[in-house]
A and B are shown apart, each in its own frame.
Chain A
């Protein structure tokens, strides 16, 4: 899979933004955004090449990994969701004062996207960013599967 993906075309970003963290980490609110297609059982499942996202509440732990690829391991997530979605680790970092707060909501996309990723770039990605900003998020940790 690594060798295959190394040859795949990727979108190019000409003048990428770089947003420095404007406050100390112990005052920052941190969210996780994952491409593991995680969802609660009561939420809509991800379709193949789904460009939408699901919001996960801070307290959610009973989650389904809805990614369509048969090519990567799902057993790690079934044993411990933190191996994909380190939500308990973030809670520990808050308790220790390393980060300021855990965001009230976290977000999941599906990783298997069309190669231009245009809908995520132009539509659902910015929509997700607006949700994060509305929740007062400063830092986003992005996790793949």
Chain B
């Protein structure tokens, strides 16, 4: 972002950056930046909080009056909420299936409601919703010790497939959960700590790491801190 600010200013545009990394903004010194200590992924603060978003934008635009390089700090800090989202997981339906596969099938109706409500989905980087259960079946085999090379994953690219599975769950969960918009990392915590898919994904990640899979194949299957 700071790079683009410099490029755009050189071209004759006036810019203001909503900076999420203070040290980066300090070192790169874009002409005008408002540092906001908000959870990463939420540069305007909170979803559905119009007043806060308006205030952040207003403070950023006020920096256009500055006559020299300016780095301001937004006065509010928002911490990530790592409490798992309160979202019921479907009860076991077909005991012959791996738990994660059974669970993903049970969430399909909620995923479809999300698609209908939002008319867009971020699932599809490597696999579609129809392949989520097959992919989880293979991740389950990896977690059980099967060779990742001899048991190929639908969609092939581990990082993209894991993104699609996590997104399928996230979109379903946001339909099922009630109450105010969840804080950042709340849905992440629900997925990795409470769902069978999240647990299977992490177990598969550790299993292929131990089988010697290349670092980028397994590491980016989940957030770095997990």
A binding-site residues for B, Cβ under 8 Å: 1-2, 4-6, 8, 10-13, 16-22, 25, 28, 33, 35, 41, 45, 62-66, 68-80, 82-84, 86, 89-90, 92-93, 98-99, 109, 111, 113, 117, 120-121, 125-126, 128-130, 132-133, 137-145
Give 16 pairs: A residue, B residue, CB < 8 Å, sorted on A: A1-B40, A2-B21, A13-B28, A25-B64, A33-B8, A73-B41, A78-B122, A80-B48, A83-B53, A84-B42, A111-B1, A125-B8, A126-B11, A129-B12, A142-B1, A142-B30
Q: Which of B9, B159, B184, B225 contacts A76 (CB 8 A)?
A: B184
With contact pairs A72-B40, A75-B184, A76-B42 given, residues A10 and B24 touching in the complex (Cβ less than 8 Å) = yes
Q: Which 10 A-B pairs have the closest CB atoms?
A: A80-B47, A73-B41, A129-B11, A125-B7, A72-B41, A6-B23, A72-B40, A73-B184, A79-B47, A62-B120
Asked if residues B21 and A6 are in contact (CB atoms below 8 Å), the reply is yes
**Which residues 132-190 in B have Cβ within 8 Å of A in the complex?**
159, 162-163, 166-167, 170-171, 174, 181-182, 184-188
With contact pairs A13-B6, A18-B68 given, residues A142 and B13 touching in the complex (Cβ less than 8 Å) = no
**Which residues 192-226 in B have Cβ within 8 Å of A in the complex?**
220-225
17 other A-B residue contacts (CB within 8 Å) besides A16-B69, A75-B174, A86-B44: A2-B40, A6-B23, A16-B6, A18-B31, A19-B15, A19-B31, A70-B159, A71-B225, A72-B40, A72-B41, A73-B40, A73-B41, A83-B43, A83-B45, A139-B16, A143-B1, A145-B20
B39 CB–A CB distance under 8 Å: yes
B88 CB–A CB distance under 8 Å: no
**Cβ distance A100 to chain B, nearest Cβ, rounded Å:** 12
Asked if residues A120 and B7 are in contact (CB atoms below 8 Å), the reply is yes
**Cβ distance B95 to chain A, nearest Cβ, rounded Å:** 31
Closest Cβ neighbor of A11 among chain B residues = B3
Q: What is the interface of chain A mostly: helix, strand, loop, or mixed?
A: loop
Asked if residues A141 and B6 are in contact (CB atoms below 8 Å), the reply is no
A4 to B23, CA, bound (A): 10
A2 to B21, CA, bound (A): 6
**Cβ distance A61 to chain B, nearest Cβ, rounded Å:** 9
